[in-house]
């Protein structure tokens, strides 16, 4: 029996609102669609910008625990789709035995993926330039958002997405990810690349993504050495905020078709 539920997992600097078009699109196709917020992120974008305390307190284990609890309450394994940091959480959930299959779009890297393109260094510099940001919620200026998230968008659309979707990100989580390949022991972004029981996984990369370029997706996919299906597809001309970019329907339909065909 094919999954009838899709769980959409958002990334950093945005909330579940960033999935609003995909949610309506999949619901119109008859699916139950869940787009959960991170713990404490249940408030709207405007409220989180006004008071970023929940962002400062965020941890990856709390996110994963919340998502696993949600999935445990479902009648059957759902399709998991994650964007950016949500791509990491999708991979972790699959590794933990959750989900019928997974789609990781413009995914941040899991532990052990050491590729760091120059565009990513520039895109993440606002967070990593100051070690004190490790204890703060760090937002983007519009120009920083434009470079990291919407570099191929028309100017009016880029500004509209910044106003509608942007919130600060957790410096604590982001610094932990940046140091994942340096400190001893497993980091919060660890997955078992040799897990033969992991469900199928598709990486979707945007050709012009500055924040998580295709090189990261390709490296992440190659790390998997298990006897399970891992594929990658690249879309030309796409930025990091692919779920809100013109032509998102093509990406959404391909992701769903692939997921249904491999679950």
Q: How confident is the model at residue 86, as a pLDDT?
A: 94
- Among 230, 5, 243, CA closest to 95: 230
Within a 10 A sphere around the Cβ of 43, how many other Cβ atoms? Answer: 15
CB of 99 within 8 A of CB of 78?
yes
* Residues near 133 by beta carbon (within 8 Å), at least 6 away in sequence: 127, 171, 175
Q: How far apart are CA 15 and CA 165, in angstroms?
A: 7
Q: How confident is the model at residue 229, as a pLDDT?
A: 97
Burial environment of residue 117 by CB neighbours within 10 A (0 to 12, 13 to 18, 19 or more): middle
3-state secondary structure of 233: strand
Complete DSSP assignment for 191-240: --TT-TTPPPEEEEEETT-SSS-HHHHHHHHHH--SSS-EEEEEETT--S
3-state secondary structure of 149: coil
Q: How confident is the model at residue 113, as a pLDDT?
A: 82
3-state secondary structure of 243: helix
| pLDDT at position 183 over 60 | no
Q: How far apart are CA 64 and CA 61, in angstroms?
A: 5
Q: How far apart are CA 134 and CA 192, in angstroms?
A: 27
Q: How confident is the model at residue 170, as a pLDDT?
A: 81
- Among 196, 235, 233, CA closest to 218: 233
* Residues near 21 by beta carbon (within 8 Å), at least 6 away in sequence: 243, 244, 248, 252
- Give 230's DSSP letter: E
* Residues near 94 by beta carbon (within 8 Å), at least 6 away in sequence: 80, 101, 102, 191, 198, 199, 201
Structure tokens at 15: 């909330």
Question: Are β-strands 137-138 and 169-170 bridged in parallel, bridged antiparallel, or unpaired?
Answer: antiparallel
pLDDT, one tens digit per residue, over 71-108 is: 999 999 999 999 999 999 999 999 999 999 999 999 98
What's the CA dihedral at 16, 33, 239, 199 to 10 degrees?
A: 110
Model confidence band, residue 55 (pLDDT cutoffs 50, 70, 90): confident
CB of 4 within 8 A of CB of 79?
no
- Cα–Cα–Cα angle for 58, 242, 120, rounded to 5 degrees: 65
pLDDT, one tens digit per residue, over 10-30 is: 999 999 999 999 999 999 999
What average pLDDT does the structure give for the chain? 89
């Amino acid at each position: 029996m094919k999954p009838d539920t899709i769980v959409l997992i958002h990334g950093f600097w945005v909330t579940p609102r960033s999935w609003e078009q995909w949610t309506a699109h999949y619901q119109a196709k008859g699916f139950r669609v869940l787009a959960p917020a991170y713990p404490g992120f249940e408030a709207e974008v405007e409220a989180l910008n006004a008071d970023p305390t929940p962002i400062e307190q965020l941890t990856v284990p709390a996110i994963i625990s919340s998502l696993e609890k949600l999935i445990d309450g479902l009648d059957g394994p759902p399709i998991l789709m994650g964007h950016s940091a949500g791509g990491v959480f999708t991979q972790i959930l699959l590794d933990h035995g959750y989900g019928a299959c997974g789609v990781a779009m413009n995914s941040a890297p899991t532990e052990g993926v050491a590729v760091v393109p120059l565009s990513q260094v520039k895109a993440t510099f606002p967070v990593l330039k100051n070690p004190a940001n490790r204890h703060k919620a760090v937002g983007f200026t519009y120009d920083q958002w434009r470079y990291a998230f919407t570099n191929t968008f028309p100017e009016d659309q880029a500004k509209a997405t910044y106003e509608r979707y942007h919130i600060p990100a957790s410096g604590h989580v982001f610094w932990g990810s940046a140091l994942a390949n340096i400190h001893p022991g497993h980091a919060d972004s660890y997955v078992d690349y040799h897990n033969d029981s992991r469900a199928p996984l598709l990486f979707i990369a945007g050709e012009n993504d500055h924040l998580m370029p295709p090189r990261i997706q390709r490296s992440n996919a190659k790390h998997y050495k298990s006897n399970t299906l891992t594929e990658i597809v690249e879309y030309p001309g796409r930025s990091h905020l692919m779920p809100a970019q013109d032509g998102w329907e093509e990406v959404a339909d391909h992701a769903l078709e692939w997921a249904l065909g491999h679950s």
